[in-house]
Every structure is written in C-alpha cells, then in structure tokens.
Amino acid sequence: MSTANKISNALISVFYKDGLAPIAKELHQQGVKIYSTGGTQEFIEKMGIPVIPVEQLTGYPSILGGRVKTLHPKVFGGILARREEAQDLAEIKEFDIPLFDLVMVDLYPFEETLAQTNEEQKIIEKIDIGGVSLIRAAAKNFKHSLIVSHTNQYSDLLEILVNNNGESRLSERKSFAAKAFQVTSHYDTAIFNWFNKGQNISALKVSYNQGNTLRYGENPHQRGFYFGQINDILEQLHGKELSYNNLLDVDAAVNLLNDFEETTVAIIKHNNPCGVASRDTVLQAWTDALAGDPVSAFGGIIALNRNVDLATATEMDKIFLEVLVAPSYDEDALALLKGKKNRIILKQTGKLPISQTMRSVLNGVLVQDRDLVVLKSSDLKSVTSHAATASQIEDLLFADKIVKHTKSNTIVLAKNKQLLGIGCGQTSRVDALKHAISKAHAFGFELKEVALSSDAFFPFPDCVEIAHKEGINAVIQPGGSIKDDASITYCEQNGVAMYFSGVRHFKH
C-alpha cells in the first residue's frame, strides 16, 4: 500500500494571510477543492479562486460572534477518518463528508496580544479553540492528512505542491504533524502560564519556539543547545558565534551590571567578576576594573553600562577580550574593536525579563525567584558602636552588589567603588577571605580602611580577626549565626564597624 497521498480537498482557515496567495493559486491550478470560512474565504475569493464555505458543508452558520465555525462532525469527520477502515469510509459516504488531505490552520495571536494589553477580555478572545482542535485532529491522522500549522511552513508546502504535484509522503506528513504538536503545546503553555498568575498551581510549563545548536556544550565532547530569543535583549555586531560558555558569562555580566546605576565596567571570568569599578567616565571605570585583576581579565567578558568611546576602545583593544557587551558604541570605537575578527561584540538592547531561575537536578528541576535585592544604606543595621564613613558605606553597598553575583563561599574587598580582591567558590569562608586578601596584595592594593562583604554570616570570629589584622575596618554581612555575638564582640573591641544586611546571597 502506497504511503503517498495526493491532495484533493483542502481546508484553509488562517489568521495571518501573508504567503497564502501562491499556495491558494497552486492548489487551484491542481484542481484541489478549497473549503474555508470568514476572512480566509474572502481573501481567496478575491483572487478569483472558488471556495466552498464551511457553512455550506455543515449546514450551520458561524455563530457566537465567530467563536463557533468549524466545530462540526462534517469537518472533523473528514479530517479524522481512517481510510484503511471500511467502517470509517462507510460513514463518510453515508453522511456525505469530504476527506481532507490538507489542513492549513494557524492560531489566534495569544502571546502577541499579551504583549499589547492587560485587558482580560481581549486576551481571552485570543484563546483559539477551533484552530487548536483542527491542528490536533489533522496531526493525529497524519497517515492521511497533511497539517500546516504555521506560516514558517508555507515554503515546505509549496515545495510539495510544485515539485511533487501535490503528493505528500508519509514521512513528510509525520514531520508536519510533529511541528503541529509543537505549535499547540507552546500555545497551551502560554495560556496556562497566564491563567496561573496568582493561582499558584504547582506545575512547571516552559516552552521556547526558537532553539540554536551550539558548537558544543561546556566542553567539546558535550552537545550544547540554546533555547530562547536572545535577539530580544542582545544584538551581535561582530565576531564568531556565541558559545555555551560565552552565554553563561554574558548572562553573569548582564545580571551584575543590572544592579549598577553609576557608570560601571565589569570583567567576568568563568561566571565570576574579577574586575569591577564605578567611575565618572567609562575610560576610568575600565582602567580601574582592569587593575583589580589584569591577569584574570585575559580572555574575559567585558560588560559596560555606558556607551563605548574611542578612548576606551583603544585601551580595551590592548588585551585579548573574548566578548564585549555595551548599550552602544561610537562608530570609530566599533571599527577599532572589529579589528579582531573573532572578538564578539554585543549591543544590549533590552533588560532581562526573567524573574525566576531554573536548574536541572537529579531527575527534576529546581525553580526559584531571582535574587533581585539591591541594598540601600537605610537597609543596613549597625551592630557596633563604631560607624563607617560615608564613603565606606558606599563601598559596602558596592561590594554587596558584587558578592551577590559571585559563587559561594565568597568574600569581596572594595574601596572607592573598585573591586580590590575577591575570594569565590571556596569551601570555607576563611579560605574565601584569604584568597581575596592574596589577590589584593598580588596587584599592589593596600587593605587599610577597605570594605568587606560576605555572602553569608560568619559562624566564628576568625574572619573578622583576619580582616582586622589586614587593616580592614568596615564589614557587611547578613547576620543570623548563633555565634553572631562572637564576631560583633571582636569588632567592637578592635574598632571595626560591622553592619547586618539581613539578606544572604548564596550562589551555587
């Protein structure tokens, strides 16, 4: 038995008419009977192509303001009939139902409507019922029906019509069916997530229509994919394709800079900041961010929250930088930076819209709210009689922004809104502090009157003791240890200003 199927009857009902004309013309030339309704029927008839109204087939008009048009046994019978089943064919003949070989249906623009309005009734009216049902029916019966469910499939349909004289193969119909179920599942996910706002139904529904195959994952022996619409927030101006690791680092950089309003430059390496500075000019911010760790900056990801001018680009161009992210670039600066053919240059065009994070663990997924807390001076609780200076308070808040975006355990040392040393990803807080101190010393920084931020509380006073002996005299930490008093007492006795934020910033 042949699996090829020649199109004789087509049901067409689409919201978007772009690209429909050449298909309708080709179907007509091949003698295909076209059934349609509403705006699609009117569109095709204006081309001079005859159309059989669905209302004529069903004997019922479109009712309820267009909510019910195609939901009828004479429509769905012609789509779902199993042509190898004698009983199905007998019923088709008895009730005079045409067999539909092609179903072309797209869906009401639900997500587009969400982006345009918050008006509930307008949103509800864009929840497609008949369209989803038609798509699922034709996809289910792919052995006999070809389902075209999106305008991006029109070129493939035209190829079948023109090159194969309207005869589709089973493998083609099954491929179209898979795409159809992808369309409807994505559509239902968007609807569920809208309805579930405030309902707190414990279910995770995530769907991305666009996916890119990356060169590889974290390592060359691992496959890697990116699902999402990165073009909504970043425009690539130059360079090679973003890799899996590039995307992780760019995400870290963009999230970090999102917390800074002042002119700031951040240098990211393996998801952690190795240089950060806030200054009056971009050039000075770059110079001081780089000074924080010029060794680690090699091959790093550079993020700026201001326009890149030629002077700054000239200095940045002196070292190997893999990725640059900024909101804009002067033309001469961009031309200079493009001198390295593989250097990835990105223009940030939008904010990160995601309010939750997800990670696969064991046989499931962890979901949590993104850490969006940015402390203000009024959030700090002094727990010692010693007060930090106004500039130290600014440095404590500066350091706390960085510590929030750094792998735990972490300690950040900062002065004059410049990252001087960082200890991250350590198995003990003491090790994190010692690493931060070592880093600062390695690049010639004095630690007298430096501000220290810790992502979590101090379980013992050892960290503040080590910090004090280095000249550090201002500390911010969440507090909450059963031995907070031990650290507070040491600071009180040794002239160290300590502040509790009440906010832990673990990052694993």
Residue 469 among the catalytic residues: no
Question: Within 10 Å of residue 132's Cβ, how many Cβ atoms?
Answer: 20
Nearby residues of 298 by Cβ (< 8 Å), 6 or more positions away: 319, 320
Residue 439 among the catalytic residues: no
**H/E element, 87:** helix 86-94
Residue from 17, 25, 74, 140 carrying the catalytic annotation: 140
SS3 6: strand
SS3 167: strand
Residue 121 in contact with residue 30, Cβ under 8 Å? no
Tokens of 403: 């510590």
Residue from 17, 33, 72, 270 carrying the catalytic annotation: 270
User: Which residues in 300-424 belong to E strands, given as ranges?
Assistant: 300-304, 321-326, 344-348, 356-361, 364-369, 381-382, 411-415, 418-423
Residue 273 in contact with residue 419, Cβ under 8 Å? yes
The set of catalytic residues is 140, 270
